[in-house]
Structure 1
Amino acid sequence: MSGLPDAFGLDGLRAAVLRAWRDSPTRLTEDTNAERDLRAGGYRDRLLVELAQNAADAAALAGRQGHLRVTVTGGELRVANTGAPLDEAGVAALASLRASAKPEGTVGRFGVGFAAVLAVTSEPRIVSRTGGVVFSERRTKAEAGAGDVPVLRLPWPPGDEEPPVPDGFDTEVRLPLTVPAGDLLATIAAEVPDLLLALPWLARVDVDGRTWTRSAAGADSGGGVVTLSTPETTARWLTHAADGVVWALPVDGSDGETPMPRTEDVLHTPTPTDERLSLPARLFAPVPVEPSRRRVLTAEQARPVLAVAARIYPGLARRLVAVHRPAAVPAVRFPLSEVDAELRDLVLSELSEQDWLPAAAGGDVAGGRARVLPVDAPELVALLADVVPGLAAACGPGAARLLETVGARAIGVAETVEALTGVERTPAWWHGLYDALLAAVERREVDPAELGALPVPLADGRTVPGPRGALLPDPALTESGLPRLGELDVVGLHLVHPDAAHPLLERLGSDRAGPAELLAAPALREAVERSVEDAVSGVDVRPLVDVVLRLSGHGDAAGLAALALPARSGWRRADELVLPGAPVLDVFDREAVGVDGALDVLDETFAESNDRTALTALGVLDSFALVVDDEPAGADHELPDEAAWWDAETPARVYAVRDLDLVADDAWPAAVRLLAQRPETWRALTERGGHAPWWLARFALLGGRAPMEWRMPAAHDLTGLFDPVPDVGLSPDQLAAVGVRGGLPDVSTVDSDDVEDLCDRLADPERSVPLGLTLRVHRLVGEYRRTATATGAPDPPDRVRTLDGTVTDADDVAVLDGPWLLGAVPPTRFAACAAAGTDPACRPGTGGGSDVGTPGGAPVSELADAFDLPLATEVIDADVSSAGEFAAWPDLPAVVEVAELLGAALPDGGVVVHDHLTVAGADVGEHDVAVPWWCRPGPHDTEVLHATDTSDGLARAFAWAAGLWPRRWEIAALLDDPDPRTLLG
Structure 2
Amino acid sequence: MLSSGDLDELRQAVLRSWRDSPTRFTEDTQAERDLLRGAYRDRVFVELAQNAADAAALAGRPGRLRVSVVDGELRVANTGAPLDRRGVAALASLRASGKPPSGQGLVGRFGVGFAAVLAVTAEPRVVSRTGGVAFSERRTRQVWEAPEVPVLRLPWPLPEDEPPLPEGFDTEVRLPLRDDPGPLLEQVAAEVADVLLVLPWLAEVEVGQRRWTRRTEGGTADASDEVVLTLPGERRARWLTHRGEGCVWALPLADDGAPRPLPGDPGDVLHAPTPTDERLSLPVRLLTTAVPLEPSRRRVLASAGTPEVTRALHAAAAAYPGLVRALPPRHRLALVPRPHFPLSDVDAVLRERVTGQLADAEWVASAEGGSLPGRRARVLDLAAARLVELVAELVPDLAAAPLCGRDAARTAAVAGARPLGVAELAEALTGVERPPSWWHAVYTELHAAVERSEVDPDELGALPVPLTDGRTVPGARGALLLDDAEGAVSAVSAMSAVAELAIPGLHVVHPDAAHPLLHRLGARRAGPADLLAAPPVAAAVDRSVDDALAGLDVEPLAEAVLSWLSSAPGLPEPERAALGALALPSVHGPRRADELLLPDAAILPVLDPDAVGDDAPLDVLARDLAQRWDRDTLVRAGVRDTFPVGHATTDESEPAVADLDLVADDAWPAALRLLASEPATWRVLSAPDGRLRDWLAAHALLAGRSPGQWRLASARAAAGLFDPVPDVGLGDDLLVAVGVRTGVVGLAVRDADDAALVCARLGDPDRTVPPGVVLRAHGALSGLQPDDVEPPARVRTLAGSVCDAADAVVLDAPWLLGVWPADRLVAAAEFADAAALADVLDLPLASDETTVRPDDDGEFAAWAELPAIVEVADLLGADLPDGGVLVHDELTVGGVAVPWWHDGEFGTAHASDSPDGLARAFAWEAGRWTERVVVERLLDDPGPRTVLG
* Same fold flag (TM > 0.5): yes
Q: Is the 8 A contact 1:275 1:295 kept in 2?
A: yes
2:609 corresponds to 1:590:
yes
Give the structure 2 partner of residue 196 of structure 1: 196
Q: Is the 8 A contact 2:204 2:211 kept in 1?
A: yes
Give the structure 1 partner of residue 20 of structure 2: 26
How far apart, CA to CA, are the structure 2 residues paired with 1:984 and 1:57? 150
Give the structure 1 partner of residue 791 of structure 2: 796
Secondary structure of the 2:252 match is strand
Give the structure 2 partner of residue 236 of structure 1: 238
Secondary structure of the 2:744 match is coil
Q: Is the 8 A contact 2:457 2:521 kept in 1?
A: no
Q: Is the 8 A contact 1:616 1:622 kept in 2?
A: yes
2:348 corresponds to 1:345:
no
> 1:561-580 to 2 correspondence within 5 Å?
561-563=577-579, 564-569=581-586, 572-580=591-599
Displacement after TM superposition at 1:955 (Å) = 10
Deviation track 1:922-957 (CA, whole Å, cap 9, x = no partner) reads xxxxxxxxx98899999977999999xxxxx99998
How far apart, CA to CA, are the structure 2 residues paired with 1:156 and 1:897? 175
Give the structure 1 partner of residue 281 of structure 2: 278
Secondary structure of the 1:483 match is helix
How far apart, CA to CA, are the structure 2 residues paired with 1:158 and 1:827? 173
Displacement after TM superposition at 1:315 (Å) = 2.5
Give the structure 1 partner of residue 258 of structure 2: 257
1:306 to 302, 313, 316: 313
Evaluate the alpha carbon distance shift between residue 807 and residue 336 of structure 1 in structure 2; reply closer, same or farther with a 3 A threshold: closer
TM-score norm. by structure 2 comes to 0.76
How far apart, CA to CA, are the structure 2 residues paired with 1:11 and 1:28? 25
How far apart, CA to CA, are the structure 2 residues paired with 1:554 and 1:938? 72
> 1:105-184 to 2 correspondence within 5 Å?
105-106=103-104, 107-108=106-107, 110=109, 112-113=111-112, 115-116=114-115, 119=118, 120=121, 122=123, 124-125=125-126, 127-128=128-129, 131-132=130-131, 134=133, 168=168, 171-175=170-174, 177=176, 179=178, 182=181
Q: Which moved more, 1:865-874 or 1:529-538?
A: 865-874
2:227 corresponds to 1:219:
no
Q: Is the 8 A contact 1:703 1:726 kept in 2?
A: yes
Q: Which has the larger radius of gyration?
A: 1
RMSD between aligned residues: 5.6
Evaluate the alpha carbon distance shift between residue 24 and residue 258 of structure 1 in structure 2; reply closer, same or farther with a 3 A threshold: closer
Give the structure 1 partner of residue 642 of structure 2: 623
Give the structure 2 partner of residue 910 of structure 1: 888
Displacement after TM superposition at 1:598 (Å) = 4.0
Q: Is the 8 A contact 2:122 2:136 kept in 1?
A: no
2:629 corresponds to 1:610:
yes
Secondary structure of the 1:481 match is helix
Displacement after TM superposition at 1:331 (Å) = 4.5
2:402 corresponds to 1:393:
yes
Evaluate the alpha carbon distance shift between residue 857 and residue 282 of structure 1 in structure 2; reply closer, same or farther with a 3 A threshold: closer
Q: Is the 8 A contact 1:11 1:156 kept in 2?
A: no
Displacement after TM superposition at 1:291 (Å) = 3.6
> 1:417-436 to 2 correspondence within 5 Å?
426=438, 428-433=440-445, 435-436=447-448
> 1:240-639 to 2 correspondence within 5 Å?
240-252=242-254, 254-262=255-263, 263=265, 264-285=267-288, 286-298=290-302, 299=304, 300=306, 301-357=308-364, 366-368=373-375, 390=398, 393-394=402-403, 399=408, 402-403=411-412, 405-407=414-416, 426=438, 428-433=440-445, 435-441=447-453, 446=454, 453=461, 455=463, 457=465, 460=468, 475-477=484-486, 481-484=490-493, 508=520, 515=527, 519=529, 524=534, 527-528=537-538, 530-534=540-544, 536-537=546-547, 538=552, 540-542=556-558, 544-553=560-569, 556=572, 559-563=575-579, 564-569=581-586, 572-627=591-646, 637-638=648-649
Q: Is the 8 A contact 2:262 2:284 kept in 1?
A: yes
Q: Is the 8 A contact 2:69 2:181 kept in 1?
A: no
How far apart, CA to CA, are the structure 2 residues paired with 1:235 and 1:334? 30
Deviation track 1:172-220 (CA, whole Å, cap 9, x = no partner) reads 2454636569456555444332222112222223445543221112122
How far apart, CA to CA, are the structure 1 residues paired with 2:671 and 2:887? 68
Q: Which moved more, 1:378-387 or 1:608-617?
A: 378-387
Give the structure 1 partner of residue 864 of structure 2: none
How far apart, CA to CA, are the structure 1 residues paired with 2:299 and 2:568? 88
How far apart, CA to CA, are the structure 1 residues paired with 2:623 and 2:345? 94
How far apart, CA to CA, are the structure 2 residues paired with 1:13 and 1:819? 170
Displacement after TM superposition at 1:695 (Å) = 0.2
How far apart, CA to CA, are the structure 1 residues paired with 2:858 and 2:192? 163
Secondary structure of the 1:216 match is strand
Q: Is the 8 A contact 1:290 1:296 kept in 2?
A: yes
Evaluate the alpha carbon distance shift between residue 31 and residue 417 of structure 1 in structure 2; reply closer, same or farther with a 3 A threshold: farther
Q: What letter is aligned with 2:542?
A: V
How far apart, CA to CA, are the structure 2 residues paired with 1:427 and 1:179? 77
Evaluate the alpha carbon distance shift between residue 82 and residue 581 of structure 1 in structure 2; reply closer, same or farther with a 3 A threshold: same
Q: Is the 8 A contact 1:100 1:108 kept in 2?
A: no
2:100 corresponds to 1:102:
yes
TM-score norm. by structure 1 comes to 0.74
Deviation track 1:68-106 (CA, whole Å, cap 9, x = no partner) reads 445566777665544455666656656665364524343
Evaluate the alpha carbon distance shift between residue 386 and residue 259 of structure 1 in structure 2; reply closer, same or farther with a 3 A threshold: farther
Secondary structure of the 1:559 match is helix
Count matched residues.
Answer: 895
Secondary structure of the 1:215 match is strand
Q: Which moved more, 1:394-403 or 1:323-332?
A: 394-403
2:841 corresponds to 1:867:
yes
Evaluate the alpha carbon distance shift between residue 404 and residue 858 of structure 1 in structure 2; reply closer, same or farther with a 3 A threshold: closer
Give the structure 2 partner of residue 850 of structure 1: none
Evaluate the alpha carbon distance shift between residue 526 and residue 493 of structure 1 in structure 2; reply closer, same or farther with a 3 A threshold: closer
> 1:713-732 to 2 correspondence within 5 Å?
713-715=713-715, 718=718, 721-732=721-732
Evaluate the alpha carbon distance shift between residue 228 and residue 912 of structure 1 in structure 2; reply closer, same or farther with a 3 A threshold: closer
Instruction: Could you tell me which runs of 5 or more consecutive residues in structure 2 were left unpaired when the two chains were aligned.
Output: 862-866
Q: Is the 8 A contact 2:14 2:154 kept in 1?
A: no
Q: What letter is aligned with 2:57?
A: A
Q: What letter is aligned with 1:67?
A: R
Q: Which moved more, 1:157-166 or 1:618-627?
A: 157-166
Secondary structure of the 1:224 match is strand
Evaluate the alpha carbon distance shift between residue 275 and residue 382 of structure 1 in structure 2; reply closer, same or farther with a 3 A threshold: same
Q: Is the 8 A contact 2:810 2:843 kept in 1?
A: yes
Displacement after TM superposition at 1:306 (Å) = 0.6
Displacement after TM superposition at 1:697 (Å) = 0.5
How far apart, CA to CA, are the structure 2 residues paired with 1:821 and 1:151? 163
How far apart, CA to CA, are the structure 1 residues paired with 2:832 and 2:156? 165
Q: Is the 8 A contact 1:140 1:149 kept in 2?
A: no
Evaluate the alpha carbon distance shift between residue 449 and residue 267 of structure 1 in structure 2; reply closer, same or farther with a 3 A threshold: same
Q: What letter is aligned with 1:317?
A: V
Evaluate the alpha carbon distance shift between residue 749 and residue 319 of structure 1 in structure 2; reply closer, same or farther with a 3 A threshold: farther
Q: Is the 8 A contact 1:71 1:207 kept in 2?
A: yes
Give the structure 2 partner of residue 632 of structure 1: none
How far apart, CA to CA, are the structure 2 residues paired with 1:490 and 1:283? 68
Q: Is the 8 A contact 2:324 2:332 kept in 1?
A: yes
Q: Which moved more, 1:298-307 or 1:358-367?
A: 358-367
Evaluate the alpha carbon distance shift between residue 79 and residue 374 of structure 1 in structure 2; reply closer, same or farther with a 3 A threshold: same
Q: Is the 8 A contact 2:426 2:464 kept in 1?
A: no
Secondary structure of the 1:356 match is strand
How far apart, CA to CA, are the structure 1 residues paired with 2:899 and 2:442? 106
Q: Is the 8 A contact 2:811 2:831 kept in 1?
A: no
Evaluate the alpha carbon distance shift between residue 643 and residue 90 of structure 1 in structure 2; reply closer, same or farther with a 3 A threshold: same
